[in-house]
Homo-oligomer: A and B are copies of this chain.
Amino acid sequence: MQTLNVSLADRSYPIYIGEDLLSSDYVRRHVRARQVMIVTNEMIAPLYLEKVLAGLSGLQVDTVVLPDGERFKTLSTLETIFDALLEKRHARTTTLVALGGGVVGDMTGFAAACYQRGVDFIQIPTTLLAQVDSSVGGKTAVNHPRGKNMIGAFYQPKAVIIDTSVLATLPERELGAGIAEVIKYGLIRDAEFFDWLEVNMQALRERNAEALVYAIERSCRNKAEVVADDETEQGVRATLNLGHTFGHAIETATGYSEWLHGEAVGAGMLMAAAFSADLQWLPEEQVTRIEALLKLAHLPTAPPPSMKAGQFRELMALDKKVHDGQLRLVLLKGVGHSVVTADYDDNKLDELLHRVCEAEG
């Protein structure tokens, strides 16, 4: 068992990483009073709910089971969490537990941020993507039909409990989606980790336990460092969005249902890399190297054939990184070296979008 710390003054919290932590004492020691509300979904509940319940005997533990999928990450699903909390009379001292992937974590965190103006919550991420990315750092949100994660809060958990055993049941595509975010850390700030991934991608895809623990720990450490520097994304935290502006456009265009978030980010990172090369910030051979690693990870390297350049442009304009009409993008100046910038030739962005979308069509 390893413990990392996210350093945020009075909002600091530990990340526990290890095997078979679901029923362990780690959940209970972060429950503040005697009420717990576990929020999970219909896929995860049959697999792991009993284990978590076993560790919480003697407390008032209630459960909300949500439908599974990004398309349910809405205000209206959020209401079902509030309804359950009020029906079971959960007080301001209650603790919410998010047991699931990124969707469950984002919604539970946002519900915790809002219920009675803020109650405690604990993340127990059950997908690789949630373990290495969304469960750490306090970004919570729901989607709006016009854009992803448009309604939310910065709200930190009291603890993140990463049980690597749960990855055994993770579907293949979900594994790949998580690996996309792992690759991201290498690209934006950890060139040595990118090298490691090139050597060990096969092991990760085969779910080698040692490789997974190493990749999760190193990813969380990268994320924790960035978040500690810039909790509310005034600066460097925005680099964590590499590939996300392109990726969110893909997800919105496909109704949050066909592509997994990590898959969209995978294709988006390659678009960001290709654009960085167009701007002559990144050597072409680095783009080739990134594409090769994405393929090794079984990740898509192009947006869906149905998407046109104009649609991309329009959806990207809704991105949260737009400042006074100018879209800021996370781009690469090398593997392990990212920048957030609006200082690029807008025509070249159009050229990229046309090139990428036509190659598809």
Contacts and interface: CB of A to CB of B under 8 A. Distances in A.
Interface of A: 33-35, 75, 78-79, 82-83, 86-87, 89, 91-93, 113-118, 139-141, 144, 146-147, 149-154, 232, 317-318, 320-325
Residue of A139, A151, A321 with most chain B CB atoms under a 10 A cut-off = A151
Closest 7 CB pairs of A and B: A86-B146, A91-B322, A117-B152, A116-B320, A114-B151, A92-B320, A33-B324
Given A75-B79, A86-B144, A117-B141, A93 B324 contact: yes
A257 to B, nearest CB: 20
Nearest to A114: B151
Contact of A86 (B35, B87, B147, B154): B147
A150 B144 CA distance: 22
B117 A153 contact: yes
Given A114-B151, A324-B33, A89 B317 contact: yes
Main secondary structure of the interface of A (DSSP, over half): mixed
Given A33-B324, A75-B79, A318 B152 contact: no
A79 to B, nearest CB: 6
A79 B76 CA distance: 10
Contacts of A321: 92
A159 B324 CA distance: 22
Nearest to A325: B91
Contact of A118 (B83, B91, B232): B232
Q: Could you say how many copies of this chain the assembly holds?
A: 2
Given A82-B150, A83-B144, A115-B150, 17 more contacts: A82-B144, A82-B151, A86-B318, A87-B146, A91-B324, A92-B322, A93-B324, A113-B153, A114-B152, A114-B153, A116-B150, A116-B320, A117-B141, A117-B149, A117-B153, A118-B154, A118-B232
Contacts of A323: 33, 91-93
Contacts of A320: 91-92, 116-117
A83 B325 CA distance: 19
Contact of A324 (B34, B78, B317): B34
A191 B45 CA distance: 56
Given A92-B320, A323-B91, A153 B150 contact: no
A232 B118 CA distance: 9
A113 B79 CA distance: 18
Contacts of A93: 323-324
A313 to B, nearest CB: 13
A153 B112 CA distance: 10
A232 B93 CA distance: 13
A151 B115 contact: yes
